[in-house]
């Protein structure tokens, strides 16, 4: 299997060697190089940034901008159009605030909670039609006929906010086609890109906004980015504090910084930014071609081990499985939480429940919840064999 020794580069999987980790759609493991860079900051360079004239402050300040450049390179965008956030959730809430006056917001039926609640919190519902939901068809794909109709109907009065890949189904959205259609109709767009860059190449430059989180691309928690195609100078700042203004006085005269720093007040998550930049460098070095090849090998190994043949486990949208899917979600004859709890006794990590995506999970499971298995590049043939054996054992014991 490609990257057969890659598991040795992820500290948790070494220090907890019996752990079988199959919850990468929630959080990938953190690569050793990321941890090394963060520890170097705390152990050798601990300081604040963009304020000090001493050596380590200047160096780390420069390194933060290098991290921004590394993120931009991985996603093929201008780094000056990237701001650092606490994660995708903060970015989506900011975008929702900027576009709260839009008549209608379009989302899909399979969105994550972070791309649903900020809009509902504005008083948008399907009943008052200020929230329009694009349905998922019986094959798991977005209903493009409905999407096209809604985009054509609402045009510049609407806003499209949609994921690139579902954290429940693992099925990607044809977001490039949707963005082009939206822009042709004068509609602004935002992508929740969290689930894609851990396994697939992603280009962001065509969308108006995009958000993602470091902890889903082998980086740290508590850090993410918000990409803005047109930059940040004309966007209203939502939080205020140190290092967002060049000068100000008590008479209200303020000269704001230009670019993303205007929206990054206070002391940033310095270690997190450095770690995220390193994660992006690692992904760029290892290449997405090899990552996608590894994930295809994992799919084949799961099949050969018998994951999709276990009685009482029914893969949702099973016809899509061979199309580059890296998330496997099942309806189960036994309550999924019971299965997950039993597996945890064997130190097997899978996910059960509604996966922070209640509408689509309620639809596919009748409200019961689902069992999700989501591998990462570090999973081995042995991991897969032990996972499937464990599932067979649990299903037989609980039947």
Please list the active-site residues: 356
Beta bridge partners of 228: 209
∠ CA(46), CA(48), CA(51), 5° rounding? Answer: 145
Q: How far apart are CA 321 and CA 197, in angstroms?
A: 19
Q: Is the separation of the CB atoms in 284 and 50 below 8 Å? A: no
Helix H or strand E segment including 159: strand 158-163
Query: What interhelical angle do 270-286 and 32-44 show, nearest 10?
Result: 150
Tokens of 379: 């999973």
CA 116, distance to chain mean position in Å, is 15
Region for 140 from its dihedrals, namely left if φ exceeds 0, alpha if ψ lies in -120 to 50, beta otherwise:
left
Supply 26's token pair.
Answer: 């929630």
Question: How far is the C-alpha of 151 from the C-alpha of 131, rounded, in Å?
Answer: 13
CA distance 37 to 271: 8
CA distance 225 to 202: 14
Alpha helices in the chain (DSSP H): 11-15, 32-44, 55-75, 88-98, 117-120, 144-154, 175-184, 270-286, 288-305, 336-344, 358-365, 381-398
Count the alpha carbons within 13 Å of 243 in the hemisphere toward its beta carbon: 14
Cα separations in angstroms, 166 against 328, 329, 339, 350, 355: 11, 11, 23, 17, 11
- The DSSP output letter for 91 is H
CB 134 within 8 A of CB 163: no
């Amino acid at each position: 299997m490609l990257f057969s020794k890659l598991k040795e580069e992820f500290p948790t999987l070494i220090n907890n060697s019996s752990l079988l980790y199959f919850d990468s759609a929630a959080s990938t493991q953190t690569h050793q190089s990321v941890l090394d860079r963060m520890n170097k900051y705390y152990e050798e360079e601990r300081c604040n940034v963009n304020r000090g004239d001493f050596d380590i402050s200047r160096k780390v300040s420069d390194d933060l901008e290098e991290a921004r450049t590394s993120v931009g390179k991985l996603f093929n965008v201008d780094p000056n159009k990237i701001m650092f956030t606490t994660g995708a959730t903060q970015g989506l809430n900011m975008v929702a605030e900027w576009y709260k006056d839009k008549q209608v917001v379009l989302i899909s039926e399979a969105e994550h909670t972070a791309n649903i609640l900020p809009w509902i919190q504005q008083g948008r519902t399907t009943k008052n039609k200020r929230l329009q939901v694009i349905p998922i068809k019986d094959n798991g794909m977005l209903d493009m006929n409905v999407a096209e109709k809604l985009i054509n109907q609402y045009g510049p009065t609407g806003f499209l906010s949609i994921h690139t890949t579902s954290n429940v189904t693992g099925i990607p959205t044809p977001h490039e086609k949707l963005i082009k259609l939206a822009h042709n109709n004068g509609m602004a767009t935002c992508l929740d890109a969290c689930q894609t860059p851990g396994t697939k190449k992603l280009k962001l430059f065509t969308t108006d906004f995009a958000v993602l989180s470091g902890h889903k691309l082998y980086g740290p928690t508590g850090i993410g980015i918000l990409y803005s195609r047109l930059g940040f100078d004309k966007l209203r700042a939502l939080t205020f504090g140190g290092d967002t203004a060049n000068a100000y006085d008590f008479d209200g005269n303020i000269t704001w910084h230009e670019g993303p720093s205007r929206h990054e007040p206070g002391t940033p998550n310095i270690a997190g930014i450095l770690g995220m930049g390193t994660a992006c460098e690692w992904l760029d070095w290892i290449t997405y071609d090899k990552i996608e090849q590894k994930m295809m090998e994992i799919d084949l190994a799961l099949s050969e081990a018998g994951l999709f043949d276990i009685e009482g486990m029914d893969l949702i949208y099973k016809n899509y499985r061979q199309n580059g899917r890296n998330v496997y979600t099942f309806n189960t004859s036994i309550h999924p939480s019971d299965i997950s709890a039993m597996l945890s006794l064997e130190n097997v990590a899978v996910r059960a429940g509604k996966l922070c995506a209640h509408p689509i999970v309620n639809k596919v499971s009748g409200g019961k919840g689902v069992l999700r298995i989501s591998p990462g590049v570090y999973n081995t043939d042995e991991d897969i064999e032990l996972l499937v054996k464990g599932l067979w054992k649990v299903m037989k014991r609980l039947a």
